[in-house]
Amino acid sequence: MKIAVFLLLLSRIAMAEDYQVEVDPQVYSTSDFEGKDVKTGNIPPRVKRPDALPNKRDREFTFSQVPGLDKYVSPLDELDRDVLFVRAKTRPLAELKKRYPNIPSALLARLKKEAAK
Amino acid sequence: MRFLALLPALLLSAPALADNVILMVNMNYSSSELQAVKEQAIARSQGGAIHQRVEMVPPESMIALAEPMFALRDQLLDSLQKQFPNMDSLELRSALAGIMRVGPSWNTDSAVADFLGQAQMNNLYRAAQRVAVAEKTNGEMYDQLKRKAAELQAKGDRVDSVVLSSHSDGSNLTGETANRLSANDLYRLRQEAPSLFDNARNVLLLGCYNMTQPNHRAWRYDLFPRASMLAGFGIKAPSRFDDTSPNFIRQVMGRAQQLDSQTAALGHPLDPVNLQKAFTTLSTFTTAAHPGVVDYCYSIVEGQPNTWKRDCDTQWADLFKKSKVMQDYWSLTSPVENPAPENDAKLRNFYNSLQEACPANDTNSQKNDWQNSERFRVTFRENVIRLIFWWNVQANFATYYASDIPLMNSRLAAAGIRGTMPSLDGTTGRVDFVRSFNAVVAQLHNTNPQLEADFRRLYAPLYYLKGEDTVAQGEKLTVADTLARNAIPFNWIEGTTVMRRR
């Protein structure tokens, strides 16, 4: 596994000698980079996007919170389950009803509510 | 268990006068496996109103050509291994494959060529050529199966059971000659020749890895949702030259027939304990080297623990191995495979394997570096889902940039760039797109850095097909923001909706 971890952002700003260092506070302290002509700050906290593909455990937990849904999602593979989950988080109920006509509307509404949590 | 309600109806639905066919897709021309299947057809016909027979694809007559060739090849391999004990077996096999392809003029390794001599090399070459010519006449496996489906339908025959014998990576089937049947071919056949799949009662999958959890899911739900039984091997399948394989056919098909009859007679589900016992008492089902897995009416029975649901270390090792093969799709320098236009079963299976793999921090081999392993999973999942929906993604991209693309084309033309980017109207393959992108960049590189930067910036999201898992807290989420990070918005994968131009 050779995937670079995003540790810090180093960028040159308006004044030629000034640098701004943005640090991931979970990895470094800003004090490690303080110095002459260097501005330091923390990278703003990042959050999961609503349309990010879900972690499997989170997705299954959400599905399990909707009684009766299992019957409809058990034939779906991982891909279709993920797509259903993201749609439930991001798409209006009317669209969900059109896309999943075999799932009762009440279950879709409940799923939408659970996915938003 | 929900399938059990359908089972009696399925078992009784055979038209009374029609023959029942066991379809054997015998991609390595095994006569011993075919014999075992034929015995089952005879056993099933005895005392019944329905006569069963076996239909083989490719034609059964191929066995007489192929088996002597395999026997000669294996005999030569044996002598080579004795003569060159320090040479890797794969090298020797590759030498023989070369001789089968090129003939007695083959001389990649002169010691091997000298040892075999012209006469033996010529014999092997001629045998291989006879098979190759016949296979060319037979055509692709996909076409042969489509023809077989039409032929059976014309006669009013019904496919009662299916036996698939081949090498396999779990979803694609390969023979030792030119026979190939990809996961995508199977998926297309299910749409175009449903009679091969819809009534299949018992299905045997005799390749490796077919019955691991993610692969099994595709076979069960995408191909054979109505079968009472799917059986095969979770990990390594036995060689066709080993007695285990034909005996597995005899024992498992025989047991399925008994259980189907019992279920139809009882009209209710079999007791799970008895079901478990019904298969684990079969000697070929529980071997340590080739443990079987059966899905009987959606209940899974494993020949050995962790055969169906493989242990976490094996899952991750397989994932890394598979990701290298998938390079054919997502190589940024020389991709060779386009996602299938409707639904790419190979990519879908890979996506499913990614999601099925255990959490990295529960996996011994990944524990020390689990965050990076999870990052690998997230990144690949994002790429793969956008590749699966490549055809929609490109159409959405072209609509959104409907003004920018012609402008870029004019700038390229004015700069004297030869060749153009293909139109992204939902029909351009990924391979064409990447090749054209790289060709333009190669011409601009070092000659027109500004235009190169603009060109790269415009097409980067479609080139990299990244997703964007996280965003800074409070950040506004727009298509423009996502594209600015070279990522593709998730809703661009949607099948029918083409998003508006910017």
Q: List the one residue out of A76, A91, A90, A85 whose CA is nearest residue A58.
A: A85
Q: Which CA distances in Å does B321 have to B248, B317, B325, B327? A: 29, 6, 7, 11
Shortest CA gap A62–chain B (Å): 16
Beta strand segments in B150-277, E: 158-165, 167-168, 173-174, 180-181, 202-205, 229-233
Q: Which residues of A touch B472 (CB under 8 A)?
A: 43-47
Q: Do B470 and A52 touch (CB under 8 A)?
A: yes
Distance of CA A16 to the CA centre of its chain: 37
Backbone angles phi and psi of B225, in degrees to 5: -65, -20
Which of A55, A58, A77 should we substitute to test contact with B (largest number of B Cβ atoms within 10 Å)?
A77
**What does the pLDDT look like over B297-336, one tens digit per residue?**
999 999 998 888 888 998 899 899 888 888 899 999 999 9
Contact B488, B462 (CB under 8 A): yes
Looking at residues A45-59, what average pLDDT do you find?
Answer: 89
Q: Does A56 touch chain B (CB under 8 A)?
A: yes
Beta strand segments in B149-222, E: 158-165, 167-168, 173-174, 180-181, 202-205
Q: Which residues of A touch B381 (CB under 8 A)?
A: 53, 82
Q: Does A35 touch chain B (CB under 8 A)?
A: no
Q: Which CA distances in Å does A47 have to A3, A8, A52, A65, B468? A: 20, 17, 10, 23, 11
Smallest Cβ–Cβ distance between B470 and the set A47, A75, A77 belongs to A47
Q: Does B471 touch chain A (CB under 8 A)?
A: yes
Count of other CB atoms within 10 angstroms of residue B81: 13
pLDDT band at B19 (very low <50, low <70, confident <90, very high): low
> Could you identify the residue written with the tokens 């990990």?
B235
Residues of chain B with pLDDT > 70: what percent?
95
**What does the pLDDT look like over B419-472, one tens digit per residue?**
789 999 889 999 999 999 999 999 999 899 999 999 999 999 999 999 989 888
Q: What is the pLDDT of residue A3?
A: 36
Q: List the one residue out of A80, A77, A78, A114 whose CA is nearest residue A100.
A: A80
Contact pairs from chain A to chain B, CB under 8 Å: 80
CA-CA-CA-CA torsion sign (B396, B399, B400, B404): positive
A53-56: Cβ within 8 A, 24+ apart: A53/A82, A53/A86, A53/B378, A53/B381, A53/B382, A53/B385, A53/B467, A53/B469, A53/B490, A54/A82, A54/A85, A54/A86, A56/B355
pTM of the shown model:
0.73
Please tell me the distance from the alpha carbon of residue B378 to that of residue B78, in angstroms, as a whole number. 46
Single-letter amino acid code for the residue at B499: M
Backbone angles phi and psi of B39, in degrees to 5: -60, -40
Q: What is the pLDDT of residue B90?
A: 83
Shortest CA gap A1–chain B (Å): 7
Please tell me the distance from the alpha carbon of residue A50 to that of residue B244, in angstroms, as a whole number. 51
Q: Do A52 and B469 touch (CB under 8 A)?
A: yes
Between A105-115 and A78-90, two packed helices, what is the crossing angle to 10 degrees? 80
Q: List the one residue out of B119, B123, B28 whose CA is nearest residue B73.
A: B123
Please tell me the distance from the alpha carbon of residue B175 to that of residue B454, in angstroms, as a whole number. 48
Q: Which helix (H) or strand (E) holds A25?
A: none
Q: Do B490 and A90 touch (CB under 8 A)?
A: yes
Q: Among B12-16, B407-411, B412-416, B464-468, where is mean pLDDT lowest?
A: B12-16
Q: Does A86 touch chain B (CB under 8 A)?
A: yes
pLDDT band at B213 (very low <50, low <70, confident <90, very high): confident
Q: Does A79 touch chain B (CB under 8 A)?
A: yes
Which of B471, B473, B483, B496 should we substitute to test contact with A (largest number of A Cβ atoms within 10 Å)?
B471
Higher pLDDT, B351 or B343: B351
Smallest Cβ–Cβ distance between B372 and the set A1, A43, A56 belongs to A1
Smallest Cβ–Cβ distance between A46 and the set B372, B379, B473 belongs to B473
Q: Do A78 and B490 touch (CB under 8 A)?
A: no
**What does the pLDDT look like over B130-142, one tens digit per residue?**
999 999 999 999 9
**What does the pLDDT look like over B44-86, one tens digit per residue?**
998 776 789 999 999 999 999 999 999 999 999 999 999 999 9
Count of other CB atoms within 10 angstroms of residue B495: 10
Contact B106, B121 (CB under 8 A): yes
Tell me: pLDDT of B183 over 50. yes
